[in-house]
Amino acid sequence: MSDAAAEVRDLVKRYPKRPTNAVDGISFTVRPAEVFGLLGPNGAGKTTTVGVLTTRVALTSGVALIDGIDVTRAPVAARRRLAVVPQRPNLDRSLNARQNLIFHAAYHGVPAAERNRRADALLDQFGLADRAGDKVDRMSGGQAQRLMIARALMHAPQVLFLDEPTTGLDPRSRVELWGLLEELVREGATLLLTTQYLEEADRLADDIVVLDGGRIAAQGSPAELKSRIGGERLEVTLASADELGAAALALGPFATDEPAIDVEAGRVVAPVRAGVPLTEVVRALDAAEVDTTDLHRREATLDDVFLTLTDPTMELAA
């Protein structure tokens, strides 16, 4: 096994007729037995980067490796060492849960006795042993997602790529799946995770790369990224989105950097020096005639990292 489970060096991907590179000279290393988070807004280059590493997208220049194998020179060998769990379920609805696992293992050349053993073990590990004979269309969203991850593990990949693994799951199913992923890593699995749930990345990821405009905007552990942008935040939620600009101006004198406006959530978040009296903030908002529904002070989160370090105008597909 290579010292790196996955790696890209000076990776560039250029599409015809696109004015800028989709991926523009990025480098990072995914260590074995860690969760690596790849974050960024739409158009940042996440999907393209994962596409290159999983051999679905041809790179323009640079190097991409899976377990030390060059994905361009030996794509078949690289694919044997990876597995992808897509965002949308793609289980075979004509097969039951166990048959989905067996078919996948057979496709990857796992011997019959071994694939039967692995299927039983994974169904048990993922809490699906009692659903082994059920067709997948009878499963809940959480059960189907667990089955997709179990299926991906049938050929014992060195790197498991997870694309938005908990999208659409209810909170209980999401937390249960996080626990299963943490168990996999304790057993030695390597996960590369793309997600829009920044709480998910904060809980699971050992290392994170934030992409923006095809380049790396920041890299580090969740704690390192949060400390990089400072500690306390003032978060103001408004009754009307029309007042977001006025609220940002009112918070300006208290902020240590430019306040971030989240139009969709109808709130303004401002980094502030420690100990700012909330009474003074309330007076400033009242003077600006801003109608607030909530005001509180809190520690920085990965959401703040995302809003601070990425371009809010980025809207292209990744």
List average pLDDT for each run of 10 residues in the chain, which is 318 residues long.
88 92 96 95 92 97 97 96 91 95 94 94 95 92 93 95 90 91 94 91 95 94 84 89 93 88 89 85 93 90 81 46
| DSSP designation for 48 | H
Please tell me if the domain spanning 6-225 has the same topology as the one spanning 229-309: no
Is the pTM higher than 0.95? The answer reads no
DSSP E strands, 45-101? 61-66, 69-70, 82-85
pLDDT of the residue at 167: 85
196 dihedral zone (left: phi>0; alpha: psi -120 to 50; beta)? alpha
Domain ranges of the chain: 6-225, 229-309
Q: Which helix (H) or strand (E) holds 115?
A: helix 112-125
Please give the pLDDT value at position 75: 97
So what's the pLDDT on residue 299?
Answer: 84
Cβ neighbours, 10 Å, residue 113? 8
Q: How many CB atoms lie within 10 A of CB 174?
A: 19
Query: What is the pLDDT, as a whole number, of residue 169?
Result: 87
CB atoms within 10 A of CB 280: 11
**Which positions ≥6 away from 64 have C-beta within 8 Å?**
6, 7, 8, 9, 11, 52, 53, 70, 71, 72
Nearest partner of 37 among 133, 141, 126, 164, judged by Cα: 164
Tokens 């990025």, residue? 26
| pLDDT at 317 (0 to 100) | 34
What does DSSP assign to residue 31? P
223 Cβ contact list (under 8 Å, min separation 6):
none
Q: Which CATH number fits domain 6-225: 3.40.50.2300, 3.40.50.300, 3.30.70.360, 3.50.50.60?
A: 3.40.50.300
Task: State the CATH class of domain 229-309.
Answer: alpha beta
Residue 311's pLDDT is: 64
Write out the two tokens for 227: 């400390």
